[in-house]
């Protein structure tokens, strides 16, 4: 398998605090890659750098979406990371458009496509057939993802009124509507009950192996990470402690030391 | 026109105006530092304080107080005390109930409050301009430059001293006292501060009051320096003081004073050399320019958006 | 400080009411009771009158009692939604009825009433334009009136100085404000919302200063007079009645156009993106929404609408001066948008009608109206921070039975 995302020598410092310290890794096309590590290890900072909400202090981030030409994420602004590179993300503390309906949330995920179809609103204002067709397709796509997420019944409810687990799923559905090449999930299992957690595992596998979406996730729930990941990165104090298959990481002495303390190693 | 004496005199006048802006800017900057919001009604708080100083003076005269020093001290005390209460009430009505509301909401309540204050003063005190004869009439010649006497008036000296005292006191409170520590803690992370037993609501209320006191010092000084007030005066002055706060770097006390002085100099020198017609355009031009080039201001640190 | 009082009392509502009444009594005293009078340059206090002061403190006391002892009804008032349960058919019917009523109005009203109706319609259109900016996109534009001013002056100056006809000038009256909105918005819209608010406030002040001071071009404080009235294919030139009728019809047509544009924009991707960035602009960016461009577009569309409203205003009055474009006018507009529910066209229209028409109906109200609006703005935001029409209608609705959608 080829690499979809290649990160080389990434560093991010906030003033004197080095949150991410010269790390390099790759995310393989069509795989599930997980990033683990204690709180404050710099995981979310890596996400924020990849999605360009932060400008890294140094390093390269290249997306290679074959057969198209490679994209240097460094040159893109956050919205272009989503629009051009189609790297889409969720947030650790869910960020939905609370007052808007579930369906509207998912339609925002197709914003650029619909904008083009409405010719920057001109065709939309005139309600041309071209726009109506595009809107119908977008609705169908949105409802398709909502069905997979089990949110069909809630389509017209305000997003903020959904229970917590459903909000997490909606956030993923919203990304999926944007046809992601790389889906970045920031702690998707946080706050889920065991049943929901199990569903999430199956969902992520379906997304990856049936829909062919490359997934890059941050997760604390080891049962999720160990079971579904193809590749695991371990971060500690901003440095890449270890990486490899779940098996390799589980038995890596540095990882054991970081997680269980000096004596256990 | 390009004589050194004239230039120096204008600089001195600009410095005086700038100190007034700086005093008001202190309130903007402190409130912004702690709640992360612009106190839109702060200009009106300044206007209220100027009226209070004016009324205190007339009241003291009526009561037969002859000593000018007593009058001025009385104006300061009365205006500062009541203006602080106004600051407290403003926070309690316009900001406190809206801590968790959408960001736009407290801005709108603050605009509502400033409309309320303006019209309250207009209705109770009348719409006509109030004028006070100059109280401190002495001037001191600093030096002669090509037959141009550069003077500093007694009012300006009082203004410089009161501004510096206010700034030093506020700085000391924020950096040397337990209250100031609580304020800095709330500014960093209000939720964490409240978990550590700091009453965030009280700290915010006190910050509004401290800002109001700064505005009150400016209000008294405007009454002494210009002696002309009307119910609408807070609008423009408030905006310029905000410009000063942004120019210096919002959130920083030193920045507020520096920004105020710079803005005062820019405005006065502009008026002196290009005429007073477009001095407001120049001032707001500065605001827009600073926001474009360096939104964090001269002394402010750029902040990173929390994702 | 008050620790000699029993703690149970201090924590009670009675103590809070007493404390706040005391604060109100102290801070209201100087302004109500002390009045300076000027006897030939000699200032002294006027004889003290206590009646208004006592009434004001009593009012504060009663208000506090209401807040502390009747929280439930107040909260209910705040949360209950005057969301009229009207079906789509009824709604269409009401709309048709309203438009027919407005069309028949000129036949039954006198000149003054027709003039007022024209002003109301223009204000409603202007408030709708501001609703796009403030209500939909969540941009607090405190200089909105400046675009209205630019539109008005564009037509006034083009017609008086160059003899350009109304219909030729109209596109310029839209484009010039939009271009200005771009210039102001482009650098500032990247920053946080409150910076935008204050910069637009400064911008409006700059525009007003220019209008006052650039005497040779704008006529300074005296404004521009004798602006030619437009005609519609020869209609409206005959006499005053016909002209007023035509202006009314134009205002009505323009209001209808603005209504449809704003309703349509809301259900388009553009409008949805506005609402999304209002809700959470970081999330919107993460989904590929060009937040900066969306904000700019809202700001520019709002400015265009304001500009055309301004042209209509200049054409109707035949006279423009800087007086008509003060911050007070922006405050009025903001009151309309906020009281109307920050995005509900009918709520805004109702609020605009009330705000414009009430002072005309009752002159005594005019003195106190700003005080009143200031107070109501604060109360509405406290009790209903999302405005009056809180029940937001989704821009698209999924209908499970047929799987079809309606807008």
Domain enclosing residue C36, as ranges: 7-71
* B307/A14 CB distance under 8 A: no
- Exposure of B37 by Cβ count < 10 A (0-12 exposed, 13-18 middle, 19+ buried)? middle
The single residue listed with the structure tokens 């964090």 is B296
If residue C36 lies in a helix (H) or strand (E), which one and from where to where?
strand C36-39
Contacts of B101 in chain A (CB under 8 A): none
What are the φ and ψ backbone dihedral angles of C344, each rounded to 5 degrees? -95, 115
C66 plus C100 within the same structural domain? no
Considering the domain architecture, whether residues C67 and C209 belong to the same structural domain is answered as no
Q: Which contacts of C171-176 are long-range, i.e. CB under 8 A and separated by 24 or more positions? A: C173/C307, C173/C308, C173/C310, C173/C311, C174/C304, C174/C307, C174/C308, C175/C304, C175/C307, C176/C150, C176/C151, C176/C307
Among A182, A252, A197, CA closest to A228: A197
For C208-217, write each residue's pLDDT tens digit: 999 999 888 8
Helix segments in C11-50, DSSP class H: 13-33
Q: How far is B147 from chain C (nearest CA, A)?
A: 34
| Interface contact C381-B112, CB threshold 8 A | yes
Task: Let me know if residue C86 belongs to a domain.
Answer: no
Whose CA is closest to C352, among C365, C335, C364?
Answer: C335
Confidence of residue C402 (pLDDT cuts 50, 70, 90): low
Q: What is the pLDDT of residues B140-176, one digit of tens each?
A: 888 888 778 888 999 999 999 999 999 999 999 999 9
Which among C36, C199, C377 has the least Cβ separation from residue B109? C377
pLDDT for B210 = 95
Whether C401 maps to a domain, the answer reads no
pLDDT tens figures, B173-210 = 999 999 999 998 988 888 888 899 889 999 999 999 99
Q: Which one is predicted more confidently, B270 or C370?
A: B270
**Any bridge partners for residue A243, and if so which?**
A233
- The 3-state DSSP composition of chain C as helix, strand, coil percent (nearest 5) reads 75, 5, 25
What angle (nearest 5°) sits at the alpha carbon of residue B166, between those of residues B161 and B168? Answer: 95
Predicted confidence at residue B187, as pLDDT, reads: 86
Contacts of B175 (CB under 8 A, 6+ apart): none
Note whether residue C319 is domain-resident: yes
* Whether residue C107 is found in the same domain as residue C63: no
Q: Which residues of C touch A114 (CB under 8 A)?
A: 269
φ, ψ dihedrals at A231, nearest 5°: -145, 140
State residue C112's pLDDT score.
Answer: 85
pLDDT in tens, C294-319: 999 999 999 999 999 999 999 999 99
Look at the alpha carbons of B16, B21, B22, B23 in this order and tell me if their dihedral is positive or negative: positive
Whether the CA torsion C358, C364, C368, C372 is positive or negative: it is negative
Domain boundaries, chain A: 1-86+182-265, 87-179
Give the C-alpha distances (Å, rounded to integers) separating A97 from A111, A193, B306, C274, C307: 14, 24, 17, 11, 32
Per-residue b or e along B197-231, where b marks 16 or more CB atoms closer than 10 Å to that residue's CB: ebebbebbbbbbbbbbbbbbbbbbbbbbbbbebbb
pLDDT confidence bin for C387, thresholds 50/70/90: low
Find out whether B90 and B45 touch, Cβ atoms under 8 Å: yes
Kindly list the residues from chain C whose CB atom is less than 8 angstroms away from the CB atom of residue A50.
none
Q: Please indicate, yes or no, whether residues C348 and C228 belong to a single structural domain of this protein.
A: yes
pLDDT of the residue at C177: 97
Alpha-carbon distance of A7 to A27, in angstroms, equals 9
Q: Concatenated DSSP letters for A229-265?
A: -SEEEEEETTEEEEEE-HHHHHT-HHHHHHHH-GGG-
Collect all residues of chain C within an 8 Å Cβ-Cβ radius of residue B288. 184, 187-188, 199, 202-203
Min Cα–Cα distance to chain C from B6, Å: 26
Rounded Cα–Cα distance for residues C195 and C205 (Å)? 15
Distance from the Cα of B113 to chain C's closest Cα (Å) equals: 6
B146 has a chain A CB within 8 A of its CB: no
C133 — pLDDT class (breaks 50, 70, 90): very high
Is residue B304 less than 8 Å (CB to CB) from chain A? yes
Q: Which residue of A has its CA nearest to C394?
A: A101
pTM flag (> 0.90): no
**For chain B, what percent of residues have pLDDT higher than 90?**
55
Mean pLDDT to the nearest integer, C367-380: 82
* Residues C118 and C59 placed together within one structural domain of the fold: no
DSSP A172-208: HHHHHTT--SEEEEESTTTT--HHHHHHHHHHHHHHH
Q: How many domains does chain C have?
A: 2
Residue contacts between A and C (CB atoms, under 8 Å): 122
CATH number at residue C335: 1.10.3470
In this predicted structure, the answer to whether residue C83 has a pLDDT above a threshold of 60 is no
Report the neighbours of C using a cutoff of 3 or more CB pairs below 8 angstroms.
A, B
C358 and C323 within one domain: yes
Domains of chain B: 4-293 (1.10.3470)
Q: Do residue C354 and residue C244 come from a single domain?
A: yes
pLDDT of residue A38: 87
Minimum mean pLDDT among A141-150, B87-96, B106-115: which range? Answer: B106-115
Spans of chain A below 70 pLDDT: 262-265
Q: What is the pLDDT of residue B102?
A: 78
- Partner-chain contact C377 B108, CB within 8 Å: yes
- Name the more confident of A144 and C354: A144
Q: Which residues in chain B have their CB less than 8 angstroms from residue C331's CB?
A: 111, 115
Q: At B149, which helix (H) or strand (E)?
A: strand B148-153
Q: Are residues C53 and C201 in the same domain?
A: no
Same domain, C358 and C301: yes
Per-residue pLDDT band at C173 (split at 50, 70, 90)? very high
CA C86 to chain B, closest CA, distance in angstroms equals 29
Do the domains A1-86+182-265 and A87-179 sit in the same CATH topology, yes or no?
yes
Instruction: Mark yes or no for CB contact B98/C371 under 8 Å.
Output: no
| Token couple for A231 | 């590749």
C403 found inside a domain:
no
Task: Tell whether C289 and C236 lie within a shared domain.
Answer: yes
The conformation of residue C155, written as its DSSP 8-state character, comes to: H
φ/ψ of residue B164, rounded to 5? -65, -40
**Which residues sit opposite C232 in a β-bridge?**
C235
Residue B282 near chain C (CB below 8 Å): no
User: What is residue C4's predicted lDDT score, i.e. its pLDDT?
Assistant: 67
Task: Quote the CA–CA distance of C332 and C338 in Å, as a whole number.
Answer: 10
B2 or B268, which is more confident: B268
A11 Cβ under 8 Å from any chain C Cβ: no
Q: Quick one: C124 and C66 in the same domain?
A: no
Query: Confidence class of residue B4 from pLDDT cuts 50, 70 and 90?
Result: confident
Tell whether C225 and C354 lie within a shared domain. yes
Would C40 be classed as within a structural domain?
yes
pLDDT of residue A233: 94
The neighbouring-strand residues paired with C235 are C232
Give chain A positions within 8 Å (CB) of C291. 79
Predicted confidence at residue C403, as pLDDT, reads 47
- For B289, name the nearest residue in chain C, comparing CA atoms only: C187
Please determine, for residue B41, whether its predicted confidence score (pLDDT) is greater than 60. Answer: yes
Going from the C-alpha of C331 to that of each of B69, C129, C140, C205, C396, the distances in angstroms are 41, 15, 11, 14, 33
Rounded mean pLDDT, C196-208: 89
How many beta-carbon contacts under 8 Å exist across B and C?
166
Q: What pLDDT is stored for residue B179 in this prediction?
A: 92
Report the residue from B61, B103, B242 with minimal CB separation from C43.
Answer: B61
- Token pair for residue C108? 């039954």
Angle at B212 between CA B166 and CA B258, to 5 degrees: 50
CA distance B162 to chain A (A): 37
With cut-offs at 50, 70 and 90, classify the pLDDT of residue B30. Answer: very high
Q: Which CATH class is domain A1-86+182-265?
A: alpha beta
Q: How far is B307 from chain A (nearest CA, A)?
A: 8
Q: What is d(CA C218, CA C336) in angstroms, rounded to the nearest whole number?
A: 29
Percent pLDDT > 90 in chain C is 41
Report whether CATH 3.40.50.300 matches the domain A87-179. Answer: yes
Beta strands of chain A (E only): which ranges? 3-14, 17-28, 32-36, 58-63, 71-72, 87-89, 182-186, 214-218, 231-236, 239-244
Residue B6: Cβ within 10 Å count = 16
Say if CB C141 and CB C196 are below 8 A apart.
yes
Chain A residues with CB within 8 Å of chain B CB: 14, 44, 48, 53-54, 91
Q: Is the peptide bond before B222 cis (omega within 30 degrees of 0)?
A: no
Of C20, C195, C375, the CB nearest to B291: C195
Q: Which of B29, B111, B284 should one mutate to test binding to chain C, selecting the residue with the greatest count of C CBs within 10 A?
A: B111
The radius of gyration of chain B's CA atoms, rounded to the nearest angstrom, is 20
Q: Which residue of A has its CA nearest to B303?
A: A14
3-class state of residue B293 by DSSP: helix
Q: Is residue A59 less than 8 Å (CB to CB) from chain C?
A: no
ipTM: 0.92
- Which chains does chain A touch, 3 or more C-beta pairs < 8 A? B, C
Note whether A83 contacts C288, CB cutoff 8 Å: yes
List all chains that touch chain B, counting a touch as 3 or more CB pairs closer than 8 Å. A, C
Residue C407: pLDDT band (50, 70, 90) is very low
């Amino acid at each position: 398998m080829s690499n979809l995302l290649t990160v080389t020598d990434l560093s991010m410092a906030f003033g004197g605090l080095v949150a991410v310290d010269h790390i390099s890794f790759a995310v393989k096309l069509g795989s599930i890659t997980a990033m683990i590590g204690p709180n404050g290890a710099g995981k979310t900072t890596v996400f924020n750098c990849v999605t360009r909400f932060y400008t890294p202090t140094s390093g390269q981030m290249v997306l290679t979406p074959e057969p198209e030409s490679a994209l240097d994420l460094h040159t893109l602004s956050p919205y272009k990371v989503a629009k051009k590179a189609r790297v889409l993300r969720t947030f650790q503390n869910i960020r939905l458009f609370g007052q808007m309906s579930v369906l509207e949330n998912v339609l925002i995920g197709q914003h650029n496509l619909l904008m083009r179809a409405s010719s920057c609103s001109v065709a939309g204002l005139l309600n041309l057939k071209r726009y109506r067709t595009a809107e119908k397709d977008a609705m169908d796509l949105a409802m398709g993802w909502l069905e997979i997420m089990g949110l069909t019944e809630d389509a017209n409810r305000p997003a903020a009124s959904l229970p917590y687990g459903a909000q997490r799923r909606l956030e993923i559905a919203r990304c999926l509507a944007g046809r992601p090449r790389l889906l970045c999930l920031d702690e998707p299992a946080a706050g889920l009950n065991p049943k929901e957690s199990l569903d999430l595992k199956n969902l992520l596998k379906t997304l990856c192996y049936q829909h062919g979406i490359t997934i890059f996730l941050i997760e604390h729930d080891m049962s999720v990470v160990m079971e579904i990941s193809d590749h695991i990165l371990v971060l500690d104090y901003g440095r890449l402690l270890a990486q490899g298959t779940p098996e390799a990481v589980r038995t890596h002495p540095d990882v054991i030391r970081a997680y269980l303390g000096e004596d256990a190693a | 026109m390009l004589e050194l004496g004239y230039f120096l005199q204008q600089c001195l006048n600009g410095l005086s105006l700038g100190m007034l802006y700086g005093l008001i800017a202190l309130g903007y900057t402190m409130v912004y530092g702690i709640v992360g919001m612009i106190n839109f009604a702060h200009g009106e708080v300044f206007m209220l304080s100027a009226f209070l100083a004016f009324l205190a003076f007339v009241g003291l005269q009526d009561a037969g107080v002859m000593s000018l020093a007593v009058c001025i001290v009385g104006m300061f005390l009365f205006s500062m005390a009541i203006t602080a209460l106004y600051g407290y009430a403003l926070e309690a009505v316009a900001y406190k109930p809206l801590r968790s509301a959408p960001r736009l909401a407290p801005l709108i309540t603050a605009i509502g409050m400033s409309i309320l204050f303006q019209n309250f003063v207009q209705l109770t005190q009348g719409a006509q301009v109030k004028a006070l004869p100059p109280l401190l009439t002495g001037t001191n010649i600093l030096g002669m430059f090509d037959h141009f006497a550069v003077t500093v008036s007694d009012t300006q000296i009082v203004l410089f001293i009161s501004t510096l005292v206010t700034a030093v006191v506020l700085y000391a409170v924020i950096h040397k006292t337990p209250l100031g520590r609580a304020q800095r803690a709330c500014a960093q992370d209000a939720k964490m501060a409240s978990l550590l037993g700091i009453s965030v609501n009280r700290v915010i209320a006190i910050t509004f009051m401290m800002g109001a006191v700064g505005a009150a010092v400016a209000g008294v000084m405007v009454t002494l320096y210009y002696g002309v007030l009307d119910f609408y005066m807070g609008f423009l002055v408030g905006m310029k003081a905000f410009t000063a706060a942004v120019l210096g770097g919002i959130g920083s006390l030193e920045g507020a004073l520096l920004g105020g002085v710079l803005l005062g100099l820019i405005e006065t020198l502009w008026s002196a050399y290009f005429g007073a017609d477009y001095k407001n355009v120049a001032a707001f031009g500065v605001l827009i320019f600073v926001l474009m080039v360096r939104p964090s201001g001269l002394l402010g640190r750029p902040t990173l958006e929390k994702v | 400080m008050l620790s000699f009082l029993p703690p149970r009392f201090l924590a009670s509502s009675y103590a809070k009411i007493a404390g706040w009444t005391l604060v109100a009594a102290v801070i209201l005293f100087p302004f109500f009771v002390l009045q300076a009078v000027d006897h030939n340059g000699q200032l002294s206090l006027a004889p003290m009158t206590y009646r208004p002061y006592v009434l004001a403190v009593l009012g504060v006391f009663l208000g506090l009692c209401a807040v502390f002892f009747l929280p439930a009804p107040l909260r209910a008032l705040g949360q209950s939604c005057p969301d009229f349960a009207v079906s789509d058919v009824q709604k269409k019917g009401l709309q048709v009825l309203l438009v027919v009523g407005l069309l028949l109005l000129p036949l039954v009203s006198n000149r003054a009433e027709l003039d007022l109706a024209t002003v109301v319609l223009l204000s409603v259109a202007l408030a709708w334009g501001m609703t796009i900016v403030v209500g939909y996109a969540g941009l607090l534009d405190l200089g909105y009136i400046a675009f209205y001013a630019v539109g008005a002056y564009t037509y006034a100056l083009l017609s008086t100085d160059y003899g350009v006809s109304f219909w030729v000038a109209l596109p310029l009256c839209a484009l010039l404000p939009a271009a200005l909105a771009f210039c102001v918005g482009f650098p500032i819209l990247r920053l946080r919302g409150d910076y935008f608010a204050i910069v637009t406030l400064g911008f409006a002040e700059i525009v007003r200063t220019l209008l006052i001071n650039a005497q040779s071009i704008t006529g300074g404080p005296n404004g521009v007079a004798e602006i030619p009235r437009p005609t519609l294919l020869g209609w409206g030139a005959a006499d005053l009645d016909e002209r007023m009728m035509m202006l009314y019809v134009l205002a009505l047509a323009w209001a209808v156009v603005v209504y449809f544009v704003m309703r349509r924009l809301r259900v388009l991707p553009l409008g949805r993106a506005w609402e999304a960035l209002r809700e959470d602009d970081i999330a919107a960016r993460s989904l590929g929404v060009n937040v900066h461009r969306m904000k700019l577009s809202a700001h520019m569309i709002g400015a265009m609408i304001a500009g055309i409203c301004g042209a209509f205003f200049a054409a109707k009055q035949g006279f423009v001066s800087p007086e008509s474009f003060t911050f007070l006018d922006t405050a009025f507009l903001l009151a309309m948008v906020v009281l109307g529910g920050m995005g509900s066209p009918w709520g805004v229209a109702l609020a605009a009608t009330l705000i414009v028409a009430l002072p005309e109906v009752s002159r005594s109200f005019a003195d106190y109206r700003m005080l009143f609006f200031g107070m109501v703005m604060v109360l509405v935001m406290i009790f209903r921070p999302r405005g009056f029409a809180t029940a937001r209608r989704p821009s698209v609705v999924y209908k499970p039975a047929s799987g079809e959608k309606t807008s």
